[in-house]
Amino acid sequence: MTLTTTATPSAPTNKLGFTKQDYVGSKSTLCAGCGHDSITAQIINAAFESNIEGYRVAKYSGIGCSSKTPAYFLNQGWGFNSVHGRMPSIATGASLANRNLINIGVSGDGDSMSIGMGQFVHAVRRNIPMIYIIEDNGVYGLTKGQFSATADQGSHLKNGAVNDLPPIDPCTLAIELGCGFVARCFSGNPKQLNTILKAAFAYKGTVVLDIISPCVTFNNHDASTRSYKHVKDHDFPLHDLGFIQYSEVEDVEIPAGQTEVVTFPDGSKVAIKAIHEDYDPTDRFGAMKAIHESMAKGEFLTGLLYINPTHPPLPEVLNLVDEPLASLGESQLKPSAAVLDEIMQSLM
């Protein structure tokens, strides 16, 4: 974990004087080609480009493949890989203790939509200041491929089991709960993901970001229609640090309003639609309608689906002092002897 920066002199720096390498983490231990690694790469890019002060970042996760990823980015920040489905309460406590932290939670569809549904719902309702990323692949990867609650009805496992139940959609759920920033992305569309992540860093409350991220191992049971697997050589030299970034799914850039059918390694085809240019993300009911219409057509509508810039986050609702609670000292916290005396008198 004592990763030192080995930027070449020519490495570009951001306004804080950091190179992109200053935003990386440890080497990923996920399967080669995992969509989650593409997301990690975009978190690094967006944090670099947004001039994020790494020491202010706190990264939280639960349990699962996705929950391992906070170790793979932003080593300057503190990480907390907690227990299954309980990342939201970890983010809640830390964000209340120190309101200066920049909070990033990474979860998966199993971690958030099944075991952690209760905490997801309430964290969104409380508007915890955090970017809540759901790396959504429809399966439990780390326990070797069981269905999650976001799996499509009728989809099937390696062993032939069919999912009979309808999926839960994190985006419409988040909008219903009053979330002020809801977006869906596709891990194979780095440009869109990067843009949304940068917007998310600028937002004060809970950002729910559902990122469709294919599992290359447990959806890989058929002959892949997309047989090539190549290492994409991106424009920053992260693989020098042991970070291998490539995707089994070729990167796409979907023009606004267009639909692209993406074939996943298992041969399944997923229609990803980018929102129209005239889409109004401040219209809550319109957003719900657009998402439902898109789902009815079997598409994933991607982009910034809903935003409410004025939704106050929990520390504001609680009217906390400006200074982080964790920094308050005894002189600010301990009432005087006269106060105790006054209380004792009232109990006599």
Partner 1 sequence: MTASLAALAPTGGAKTRINDFSIQVATVNGSGSQTANSVLLRAIFQMGVLVSGKNLFPSNIAGLPTWFTIRASAKGYVARKASNEILILMNPETAKEDIANADAKALVIYDEPLQLDKLRDDLTFIPVPFQKLVTASCPEPKLHKLVKNMIYVGVASRLLGVDMEEVKKAIAKQLKSKAKAVEINQNAAIAGYDWAMENLPDQDHVKVVRDNKTQGLIIVDGNEACALGALFAGVTVVGWYPITPASSLVETFIEYAEEYRKDPKTGKSTVAIVQMEDELASAGVVLSAGWAGARAMTSTSGPGISLMSEFIGMGYYVEAPGVFFNVARTGPSTGLPTRTQQADVELCAKCSHGDTQHINLYPGTMEECFQFAYDAFDLAERFQTPIFVVTDLDLGMQNWSSKPFDYPAKPYDRGKVLNQQQLAQVQDWGRYKDVDDDGICYRSLPGTPGGKGAYFTRGSGHNAYAQYSEKPEDYVATVDRLKKKFETAKSHVPGPVFRNLGSAKGVLAFGSSDPAVIEAQDLLAQSGLKTDYLRLRALPFTAEIDAFVMEKKVVYLVEQNRDGQMANLFRETYPEHATKFKSVLHYDGYAIDAKCIVDQITAFEQK
Helix H or strand E segment including 207 = strand 206-212
User: Measured at the alpha carbon of residue 42, what is the angle toward residues 38 and 46, in degrees to the nearest 5?
Assistant: 175
16 near partner 1, judged by CB under 8 A: no
Does 119 interact with partner 1 (rule: CB under 8 A)? yes
What is the spatial distance between Cα 201 and Cα 304, in angstroms, rounded to a whole number? 14
For residue 8 the two structure tokens come to 């070449």
Find the DSSP H helices in 170-283: 170-176, 190-201
Q: Compare residues 130 and 305 and give the one whose CB is closer to partner 1.
A: 130
Contact status: 348 vs partner 1 (CB under 8 A): yes
Nearer to partner 1, 90 or 272 (CB): 90
For residue 144, the SS3 value is coil
Rounded distance, CA 20 to CA 286, Å? Answer: 38
Question: Among residues 88, 129, 167, 303, which is the contact residue for partner 1, using CB under 8 A?
Answer: 88
Q: Which is closer to partner 1, CB of 86 or CB of 273?
A: 86
Among 20, 86, 184, 284, indicate the residue that binds partner 1 (CB under 8 A): 86
The structure tokens listed for 182 are: 């809801």
| Phi/psi of residue 97, nearest 5 degrees | -65, -35
Q: Provide the minimum distance between the beta carbon of 175 and partner 1 in the complex, in angstroms, as a whole number.
A: 20
- Whole-number Å distance between alpha carbons of 11 and 1: 22
By the rule CB under 8 A, 229 interacts with partner 1: no
Cβ-based nearer residue to partner 1, 231 or 320: 320
Under rule CB under 8 A, residue 242 binds partner 1: no
CB of 101 to partner 1, least distance (A): 5
64 forms part of the interface with partner 1 (CB under 8 A)? no
Q: Tell me the window of 42-50, 106-114, 287-295, 310-318 that interacts with partner 1 (CB under 8 A).
A: 310-318
Distance CA 108, CA 343 (A): 49
- For residues 139 and 145, the answer to whether their CB atoms sit within 8 Å is yes
As a whole number of angstroms, the distance between CA 290 and CA 300 comes to 11
The smaller minimum CB distance to partner 1, of residues 96 and 254, is found at 96
**By the rule CB under 8 A, 77 interacts with partner 1:** yes
| 20 binds partner 1 per the rule CB under 8 A | no
Residue type, 236: F
Residue number with CB closer to partner 1 (121 or 157): 121
**314: its two tokens:** 């929990």
**319 lies in the site for partner 1, by CB under 8 A:** yes
Q: Is 177 in the site for partner 1 (CB under 8 A)?
A: no
What is the DSSP code string of 206-267?
EEEEEEE---TTTT--SPPSS---B----SS-GGGGT----BSSPP--PPTT-EEEEE-TTS
What residue ranges bind partner 1 (CB under 8 A)? 1-2, 53-56, 58, 60, 70-71, 75-83, 86, 88-94, 96-98, 100-101, 118-119, 121-122, 126, 314-315, 318-322, 324-328, 330, 332-335, 337, 339-341, 343-344, 347-348
